[in-house]
Amino acid sequence: MTLADILASLFPAGHEVAIADNLIAGRGTIDTTPVHVIGIADESPLGCDGALILAGRVLDIIRQDDTAPILVLIDSSSQRMSRRDELLGLSEYLAHLAKTLLLAQARGHRTIGLLYGGSAAGAFIATALATGTLVALPGAHPAVMDLPSMARVTKLPIEVLKAKAATTPVFAPGLENLAQTGAIHAVWNPDQSLAQQFLALLAESASNDARDRLGQDRGGRPKAASIAERVEKESSHA
């Protein structure tokens, strides 16, 4: 689905969402539910400027007198690989963006990421993984780190990494693997109304982060839930 198709399916009555410099901003209404919209388009990299603009928009939403959900539409590459951005401290800008999304969630806004294209590395962490719930459309291609980059960092042959990725979802990039680990809550059906799928997701409880349990149930992350439960139990007795 193109971004225009996605917006039309989400907001059949119309919307006020615009794109400027590959950054998405605006709002729409699904039935009677107002929705704030931000995001990244056209597989563009996320640099200091973009991260600061998106973070500013989230903070503006928090200052408003509502708790309407925030939808983060994501089609990016990785963080911007430029000397300028690195010298400015890109990691701090990305962390700031992620923290604004966490703050919005804490202030009562449901934060829902919709991955409709690519995303990788810091851009993926600061947007998609920083939302309270992440969903995707078929054809999305996320990666915390792609295998060639892993090979450069770990100094392991690409063949070894491909073999590990084939048997260890938590290690591997790709939509299916991220869903199996629980990072992606659900893959939406593009042939059905995205508006109705969005409302159904809003109807689910957001009180607890269930990603570790989803990963356990789906066989992609068998240990995280039990370890987290044990840490929480023992810390309560400390």
User: How many domains does the chain contain in total?
Assistant: 1
d(CA 84, CA 98): 21
DSSP codes joined into one string, 194-205: HHHHHHHHHHS-
What is the spatial distance between Cα 83 and Cα 17, in angstroms, rounded to a whole number? 32
Residue 230 belongs to a domain with what CATH number? 3.90.226.10
pLDDT reported for residue 52: 96
Strands 111-115 and 118-120: unpaired
Residue length of the chain: 238
Q: Which residue segment(s) compose the domain that 134 sits in?
A: 3-236
**Contact assessment for residue 184 and residue 194, using Cβ atoms and an 8 Å cutoff:** no
Task: Report the predicted TM-score, pTM, of the whole model to 2 decimal places.
Answer: 0.89
Provide the pLDDT for residue 238: 64
For the stretch 94-99, contacts whose Cβ atoms lie closer than 8 Å and that sit 24 or more positions apart, written own/partner, are 94/46, 94/51, 94/122, 94/123, 94/125, 94/126, 95/126, 96/51, 96/52, 96/55, 97/51, 97/52, 97/54, 97/55, 97/58, 97/126, 97/127, 97/130, 98/125, 98/126, 98/127, 98/129, 98/130
Q: pLDDT digit string (tens) for 26-75?
A: 999 999 999 999 999 999 999 999 999 999 999 999 999 899 999 999 99
- For residue 61, count other CB atoms closer than 10 A to its CB: 22
**What backbone phi and psi angles, to 5 degrees, belong to 51?**
-65, -40
pLDDT of residue 171: 65
Q: What is the pLDDT of residue 153?
A: 86
Closest CA to 68 of 39, 95, 30, 99: 30
User: Helix 147-154 crosses helix 158-167 at what angle (to 10 degrees)?
Assistant: 120
Residue 165 has a pLDDT of 78
Show the DSSP H helices in 11-129 as ranges: 48-63, 83-88, 90-106, 121-126
23 vs 126: CA distance, rounded Å: 14
Check: CB of residue 80 under 8 Å from CB of residue 126.
no
pLDDT of residue 8: 95
Q: For residues 142 and 82, what is the distance between their CA atoms, to the nearest angstrom?
A: 21
Weakly modelled stretches of the chain, pLDDT under 50: none
Radius of gyration of the chain (CA): 18
